Amino acid sequence: MSSLLTIPVSTASHSYSIFIKNNLIKDINKILYKISTDKRRIFIITDKKIAELHLKNLLRALGNQNIIKPFILSEGEKYKNWASLQRILNYCLSHSIRRADIIIALGGGVIGDITGLAASLLLRGVIFVQIPTTLIAQIDSSIGGKTAINTKQGKNLIGTFYQPSLVLIDPLYLKTLPLRHLKAGYAELIKYALIQDNVFFKWLQKNHFHIFNGNTNCLKQAIAKCCKIKASIIAQDEKDRHQRLLLNLGHSFGHALESLLDYNSNKLLHGEAVSIGIVFAFSLSVYLGLCPEKENKIVKQHLDQIGLPTQASLWLKHPKQIQKFIYYLQQDKKSENQKLTLILVKGIGKAFIQKNISVRDIEDFIYFFLGNHL
Ligand code: GLY
């Protein structure tokens, strides 16, 4: 039997717990009573794929609770948009949602982000529980209260900071996660090591195959490590003003690629875009003389070994595509005064925030980088 791990999260706006345990969902009723009364109703938002795999079990565990018929969204990043948000808001309002009711997000990052946004808007805030079912959501997006939808101008440009009241992580959900998605999640996992923890990076170099072989103990250990790092970062900076920006390593480039590809998850999953973005960030750091080339090579080799993409040349072949990519980079939320702010590195485990990068310098770098990767 696996033991329950509890990780407290304490942000400026709200404190809550992350619970991690195999088969945790069985205990959901007991846990929900910690955050609401028995008068509440439960709204569940999920997607088609996750509904097929896990909705029945959740409903069974909830038993004879007062549950509103779940809302099931189509699957994929391209549905994290205005139209879906509006449909979720309508669904909740048409069932006369109340502040004491609970909205559960059962799914990956798309479901968590859009449900969190809806929860923050409805009645100016209703109780919201994250049940992340992908690696990316279990180690990153379900924690810390970033909510969002995408627009044609760029990724995650509309959103709020709205903390969940609980995060329930069951590592066994990852048993049904396709390998491609597990690998994509690994890009966010390794991100924590690359930002601030060389020892964790070495541990991952040794243990990564256990993660992909379905060793749930190893997976649970890695998930808990990431959750702890994230909890400590957001405790210091909930609203992305300083340290939290570090969690954006690889994301400016990654988001720009996702926007360029119209959020088409068949072409590129978010984590895959982050993997390429990490290589961009390390290569730019080397190009600027900030990071030894050796460290860049080690990281790229590791990502290649996992089978994550590390090149973008397929989508950045023509000057028009490159210009569009640079346009999306400029839409990044960290940009100030038409200059970019990027997360760069002095080596593995040594990320820092670099402000005032000119678009011209980035353009030069991108042509140099693509030239070396064609
Ligand atoms: N996913 C990055 C953050 O939560 O800040």
Residues 33-63: tens digit of each pLDDT: 888 877 899 999 999 999 999 999 999 999 9
Strand 166-169 relative to strand 127-132: parallel, antiparallel, unpaired?
A: parallel
Q: How far, in Å, is the centroid of ligand 1 from the Cα of 188?
A: 10
pLDDT of residue 50: 98
| Same-domain check for residues 195 and 138 | no
| Same-domain check for residues 189 and 171 | no
pLDDT of residue 243: 95
Q: How far, in Å, is the centroid of ligand 1 from the Cα of 133?
A: 17
Residue nearest to atom 3 of ligand 1 (CA): 247
| Same-domain check for residues 269 and 321 | yes
Among 143, 176, 209, the domain-final residue is 176
Residue 64 has pLDDT above 90, yes or no: no
The whole-model pTM stands at: 0.95
> What is the C-alpha to C-alpha distance for residues 35 and 32, in angstroms, rounded to an integer?
6
Q: Torsion-angle region of residue 170: left (phi > 0), alpha (psi -120 to 50) or beta?
A: beta
DSSP 199-226: HHHHHHHHHHHHHHTT-HHHHHHHHHHH
140 lines ligand 1 (CB under 6 A): yes
- Comparing CA positions, the residue from 113, 121, 77, 122 lying closest to residue 95 is 122
CATH number, domain with residue 246: 1.20.1090.10
pLDDT of residue 66: 93
Give SS3 for 257. Answer: helix
324 lines ligand 1 (CB under 6 A): no
Domain span holding position 186: 179-371
Q: How far, in Å, is the centroid of ligand 1 from the Cα of 61?
A: 30
**Burial class of residue 374 (count of CB atoms within 10 Å of its CB; 0-12, 13-18, 19+):** exposed
**Residue 202: beta bridge partners?**
none
Residues 172-194: tens digit of each pLDDT: 999 999 999 999 999 999 999 99
| Same-domain check for residues 150 and 261 | no
Q: Residues 366, 367, 371, 374: what is their CA dihedral angle, to the nearest 10 degrees?
A: 60
| Same-domain check for residues 194 and 170 | no
How many domains does the chain fold into? 2
| Same-domain check for residues 46 and 166 | yes
- From residue 54, how far is each of 51, 58, 174 by CA, in Å? 6, 6, 11
Tokens of 118: 């809806």
Among 159, 176, 193, the domain-final residue is 176
Amino acid, res. 275: S
CATH number, domain with residue 129: 3.40.50.1970
